[in-house]
Every structure is written in structure tokens, then in C-alpha cells.
Amino acid sequence: MKKIFLLIAGIAVISCANDPKLEPIDYTVLSGKIDNSKDGKVILFGGDFEKEIKLNDDGTFVDTLRVDTGYYTLLHDKDKATLFLTPKKDLKLSTNATKFIDQMNYEGTAAATNTYLLGKIKRNKSRDAIAVFSMEEAEFIKTVKGFGEESMEIIKKSTDLDDDFISLEKKNIKYATLINLSKYPMYHPDYSKNEDYKPSEEFEAYFKDVDYDNEEDFNMYKNFKELAIRHYSKTLNPFEDIKGAVSSIKALKSQSLKDMLAENLSFFISPSGKDSDYLYEELTTISKNEEFKKELAEKYNTIKKLVAGNASPKFIYENYKGGKTSLDDLKGKYVYIDVWATWCGPCIGEIPSLKKVEKKYHNKNIEFVSISIDDKKDYTTWKKMVVDKDLGGIQLMADNDWKSKFVKEYAIEGIPRFILIDPEGNILDADAPRPSSEKLIELFDELKI
């Protein structure tokens, strides 16, 4: 449940406070002004809290919130600021939307801690990430640890920071250092052009004593949350052992971590997932997140309808060559559908193979249909890519990107996604082999296309 409470009127608070049966509630007042805002809103979130706050026409806003002490993210358009909020303390901010962080200024009883955090954000922005991750291992470790030491020195010299904040921030700095270290093996080979890099024993030692199964820290620190998720993404291997992954998650103590990992595992509930029934039952038991379980049930019930032989969900979308094309227009032929987008690297990677398959089955009883789920703002990009990459087959654009009816009815959560439909309009494979897979040609040959 979202912990959001609005102060309707002063009299309501007075009435509650005077009732001996009720405890007084401590609120945080967040206010400010954002000049030149086109978005017209900010979103504050952290832990299980999320609140959208509308801006007035002059860019001002004020809201009275009940929040736990901790770190929050303030999102405006694509800009983010990290805030530290505490009950009974107020924070007023002012900035310009065109230079959101650079012109940010704080006032109020929570100003000191947030000004410190603002300085940390500005220091991070000024650093060249590519240069840092290109460093050799020893130099990289020294540099990243130095970032943390710099923040610690600033804390020591500050005279207006709360003791509670200092205690929390020291741990936050530790997790920020660890999350940066954890990214090095992924980024360094690419940035340094050293594909043979392997972490040393000294490097791995930094992660040996981390208690990843820590409920309090998982909910308090977004750096720790990312660190824990990265750790379990590496140690749990649902692609090879789905039951082993489920067993490991069930053994964890942190319910918040269980909820997050259950949500990640739900990706494997798919039309082609042989463990979908098992996963649905287990994840419903593991998770305590009622909203997730409701969405999971909807997804599960959707994929149960996508078995071979059932009538396929239909579409009628804009055709690149003009007009609209529907699934009914293609009746009498097999239909191989590629759901993709111009921004999707793996989708682009399949194009050469798709062209080869199209050429091989030219004039056969099959139509190749590509459905772009690009956002409407990328309409021109889609049309240009069709030309630039000389895309063949039938090129269509869905009417509402990820939220398009056809996309939702096929429970598509990741792309590229390939679908094979028979000449009667029935599903043959709701999660068909990719063009780059030899299994696709084997399937076509089996069907005598």
C-alpha cells in the first residue's frame, strides 16, 4: 500500500491530535518552484512510496506527505534529484527545468542534508565514466574508493548534518562504492577494448562479506538494492535451473528481496515456457505483493489462451506502403510475425537473418509481417529505418506501442518476439524460433511451407 497521506485541513489534524485514542502524525512538507517546466509535474518515490505532485501554472507546488526517514528520488521529466526526507522537517526547492540540477537550491529545516546530497550529484555528473571504467583494475579501485573518501571528508567537515543522517550516509557511501566496483567487469572490457579482462582475487574479495539478504538495507538504499539484484542475477540461473532458482529465493529472509526476484522470474512465464504452471504457483506463494500477484494472474490467464490451435488475437495496423493491413487480410497463408522496434538492438540484429529467410521462402505460401511497437514520436524514425535497411515483407506500425491490444493479448514483455500463425488464423507457435535459429527452417520444412 502506498504510504501517502494528504493534510486536508488544519482542523482535521487538531481534531486527531486532541483525541487520546489516536497518536499524532508527523508530516513532511515538500514545496518549491520549477521555472520553465513543460512536464507540469514531479514524481517523488522511494521504498513503497510514490506520489505524483502537480505543478501550478507558475511552476510552484506544495504537498504535505507522510514519509519514513530515508532517501527518495524526485523525478522531473528525465531529470532526477536524490532527496533525504524526515518527518517534522520541511524542504523547499527552487530550480529551472532547463538546468535542473545545476540551478537547484534548497531551503527549510531539511536543507543541509539535501544540499550535501546535491553536491554529491554534481560531483558524479562531472566525472567521465568512460575514462574511469577504462582504467586498469588497481587504478580503478583506488579512484572509486577515492570518490567515497571525498564524500566522507565533506561529511566530517560539515557542522549542520544530523547524526542520524551521517550514520545512514556512511553506509550509503559504502554501497555506492560497491555498486561501482560491481559494474567494472561488465564495462571495462568494452571501454578499454580489453576483451580478455578477468577480475583478480583482490577485486572479488570486496564482495565476499556483503550480506545481500538484508531487508532493512534493501528498502533503505537504492545502491544496495541494485547490488543485491545484480548479485542474485549472477548466482541464480533460471535459464538452466528454474527450480533451483525458486528454491534459493524461497530460502531468503528478506521479503522485499523475495518480492523483487519473484517479479524478475515472472518473465519466464511465457507461451513457450515449459515451467509456466509450476512458476505461477510458486511465485504466487513467494510474493506478498498483491498488485504484482494480480498482474501475474492476468498474464498467466493470457498465456493459457495462446496454445497451438486457438484462434490468434487479431490486428489491423498502418502499413508502411499505405492504408491498413489486418490479420484477416492474410487468411489462407501462413503468417510469420516479427514484433520489434527501431531502438531494440537484438531486433536489429535479427534483420539480416530475417531477410535470408524471406528470400528463401519468396513466393511460398507464407507472409512475413513486421510490427513495430515504436512510440508515436518515433514514427519518422520507423519510416526512415524501413528505407535505410531495405526492409522487406509487410511493414506495419502498432497503434499504441507496448499497450497495443495485439501486444498485450500475446503477453509480450520483451522483443524481438516472433509468432507463427496458420492459414486459418490459428496459433501455431506464440513464441516461434527466431530467424537466426536453425529451428525455424526445421519448423517450416515440417509444415511443408
User: For the segment 330-370, what is each residue's pLDDT rounded down to a tens digit?
Assistant: 999 999 999 999 999 999 999 999 999 999 999 999 999 99
The full set of domains in the chain, from first to last, is 10-100 (2.60.40.1120), 129-217 (no CATH), 236-303 (no CATH), 316-446 (3.40.30.10)
Average pLDDT of the segment spanning 303-313 = 94
β-pairing, 324-326 vs 79-85, is unpaired
Per-residue pLDDT for 127 more than 70? yes
Per-residue pLDDT for 80 more than 90? yes
Under the banding of pLDDT at 50, 70 and 90, the label for residue 21 is very low
User: For the segment 150-195, what is each residue's pLDDT rounded down to a tens digit?
Assistant: 999 999 999 899 888 999 999 999 999 999 999 999 999 999 999 9
pTM for this prediction: 0.74
User: For the segment 27-40, what is each residue's pLDDT rounded down to a tens digit?
Assistant: 899 999 999 999 99
User: Can you give the pLDDT at residue 7?
Assistant: 26
Under the banding of pLDDT at 50, 70 and 90, the label for residue 399 is very high
Return mean pLDDT, the chain: 91
User: Can you give the pLDDT at residue 273?
Assistant: 83
User: Can you give the pLDDT at residue 439?
Assistant: 95
Under the banding of pLDDT at 50, 70 and 90, the label for residue 237 is confident
Average pLDDT of the segment spanning 198-219 = 95
User: Can you give the pLDDT at residue 25?
Assistant: 53
Per-residue pLDDT for 10 more than 50? no
Average pLDDT of the segment spanning 236-244 = 91
Q: How many whole angstroms separate alpha carbon 231 and alpha carbon 229?
A: 5
Calculate what percentage of the chain has a pLDDT beyond 90.
Answer: 88
